[in-house]
Amino acid sequence: MEIVIQPTAEAATSIAARLIARLLREKPDPVLGLATGSTPLRLYEELVRLRLDWRRVTTFNLDEYVGLRPDHPQSYHHFMWENFFRHLNIAKRNVHIPDGVARNIQASCERYEKQIRAAGGIDLQLLGIGADGHIGFNEPTSSLASRTRIKTLTPQTRKDNGRFFGGEHKVPHHVITMGVGTIMEARQCLLLAFGKNKSRAVAAMVEGPIAAVNPASILQMHPQAKIFLDASAASKLQRIDYYHRVFDDKPDWQRI
């Protein structure tokens, strides 16, 4: 794991944006895994500002709420088109988001996995982290080998996401999410976490044991996982000086 700690979320986001921009310049037809929520919003703004060429980019989003139609204001379809895709020259047919209103959810999850494989796999998966250590919507005790499927949200996640819905009682109980195993097959993972309320989950992910009760901890097994943090999210890490030293002393060829 590479731990990049910056004083602010802005600074961490701008390094992450440069890394994604570099991938788009080096590989004109990359496959990106994308996340929703508050954390990547600034990153999406910055990527829009960079005016990159998205015509040959394919995307797969991590998750969607079950029962929300694509035009529902809280659906992740709506989130992604409003905050990101409509500002890019991306082709609609290259955008993939799990179908929260599929009549046969299991079949649509299997199709999603096939589509990822047919696209050649995910080059770079963007991730946030839940206060309970979830990635995608793989809640604590999710199988670390899981594939795209339906999951039940924990009360904590429904409470955390209630801010988008105007109350936690309005947050759906079920979601479709890429599995932990699906995420782990991405060639590169880039996780962003900002703010004090993520500090405990971040410390457990980076320095705790690998365990299904903390799904993000599996990223310790990923050969190319980069974790971008602001100072508050990093505040509970034990080896913080070491992470700073590693980043500051990088040889030029390894710099972002």
Give the interface with ligand F6R as residue ranges (CB under 6 A): 35-39, 62-63, 128-130, 134-137
CA 104 vs. chain centroid, Å, equals: 25
Q: Helices 41-49 and 9-26 meet at what angle, rounded to 10?
A: 50
Q: Write down the catalytic residue from 64, 99, 123, 134.
A: 134
Quote the tokens at residue 71. Answer: 């035009």
Question: How far apart are alpha carbons 130 and 178 in whole angstroms?
Answer: 15
Q: Which of 64, 113, 139, 160 is catalytic?
A: 139
Question: From the CB of 251, what's the least distance to ligand F6R, in Å?
Answer: 32
Shortest reach from residue 250's CB to ligand F6R, in Å = 27
Least distance from C-beta 93 to ligand F6R, angstroms? 21
> 132, 160, 222, 230: which is the annotated catalytic residue?
132
Minimum CB distance to ligand F6R smaller for 3 or for 171: 171
Phi then psi for 200, rounded to 5 degrees? -70, -45
Extract the tokens encoding 37. 């929520």
Query: And the tokens for 54?
Result: 């998205």
Cβ proximity to ligand F6R: between 4 and 35 the closer is 35
Q: Which is nearer to ligand F6R, 44 or 137 (CB)?
A: 137
Closest separation in Å from C-beta 61 to ligand F6R: 7
* C-beta nearest to ligand F6R: residue: 128
Per the annotation, the verdict on 230 as an active-site residue is: no
> What three-state secondary structure class fits 157?
helix
Residue type at position 91:
A
Closer of 36 and 94 to ligand F6R (Cβ): 36
CB-CB contact of 50 with 87 (8 Å): no
**CA-based Rg of the chain, rounded to a whole angstrom?**
17
Q: Is 241 a catalytic residue?
A: no
Give the residue numbers annotated as catalytic, written as ranges.
63, 132, 134, 139
